[in-house]
Amino acid sequence: MTRRKHQFFLHNADSENVIEVGKPLYKTIKGRWRTDYFHNDNPIVLELACGKGEYTVGLGSAFPDRNFIGVDIKGDRIARGSKIAQRLGLANVGFLRTDINYIQEFFAAGEVNEIWITFPDPQPRPKQEKHRLTHPRFLAIYKQLLKPGGTLHLKTDSPELFAYSLEQVRSVGCQDIQSTTDLYQSSLNQIHLGIKTKYEQLFFDKGFTINYLQCKMGAIL
């Protein structure tokens, strides 16, 4: 481990806005995010595979009356988002360090209002399909965690992942599906408030179009 990574992990261990293995809330937070962490009754929004937390922090800044949680397994990435949220004084932003495969261990059924998936690994090979974050097994989990009528958002630069995802949300009965293959030229552009991750900005500057979809979920399968 490099010295810089070690410093990131030390930061996470000392930071109240990061929940990870070894901290008391890690084992008790399920179903208690509002009472034990945020101490309010505001809606909860997740960003899955949040990376450095740019979107989590951006949304937290824009919507102080909502609670935002960035989820990622990479501690060094989460530390960067944690530091920015602390610097901005965002008490409505937190980070959970865990594998998304185990997300049900940290959120109760119906505890979440919205889920954002921003530029996930497209897992392009056929044998990787089960790892795509819009695979039916993940969609089933999201439906359970979201309150009835909760919203799922996806942003990706991958046309293949986007087409696959659109097919999957239709197949599981999601409602009110809205989508575009060119977000910044679409009326749906206002939904994401112009917030761009580092890689999204790189894609955009190179002329790539951004695919986006949202749909209503929340009925337990």
pLDDT confidence of residue 208: 83
N residues, the chain: 221
The CA R_g of the chain, rounded to the nearest whole Å, is 17
Task: Please say if the pLDDT value at position 220 is more than 60.
Answer: no
Q: What's the average model confidence in pLDDT over 122-127?
A: 96
Identify the pLDDT of residue 203: 79
Amino acid letter for position 202: L
Residue-range domain boundaries for the chain? 3-217
Q: Does residue 43 carry a pLDDT above 50?
A: yes
Rounded Cα distance between 100 and 107, Å, is: 11
Run of H or E including 139: helix 136-145
Band (pLDDT 50/70/90 cuts) for residue 195 is: confident
Residue 159 pLDDT greater than 50, yes or no: yes
Q: 176: closest CA among 213, 139, 138, 135? A: 213
Topology given in CATH for the domain delimited by 3-217 = Rossmann fold (3.40.50)
DSSP, collapsed to helix, strand or coil, labels residue 165 as helix
- What is the average per-residue pLDDT within 143-170? 96
Least confident range from 33-42, 85-94, 116-125, 192-201: namely: 192-201
More confidently predicted of 213 and 197: 213
Mean confidence (pLDDT) of the chain: 93
For the entire predicted model, the pTM comes to: 0.94
The pLDDT tens digits of the residues spanning 125-147 come to 999 999 999 999 999 999 999 99
Q: 3-class SS at 149?
A: strand
Q: Are strands 112-118 and 146-156 parallel, antiparallel or unpaired?
A: parallel
Residues acting as catalytic residues: 121
Residue appearing with tokens 């530091």? 83
**pLDDT per residue as tens digits for the range 91-106:** 999 999 999 999 999 9
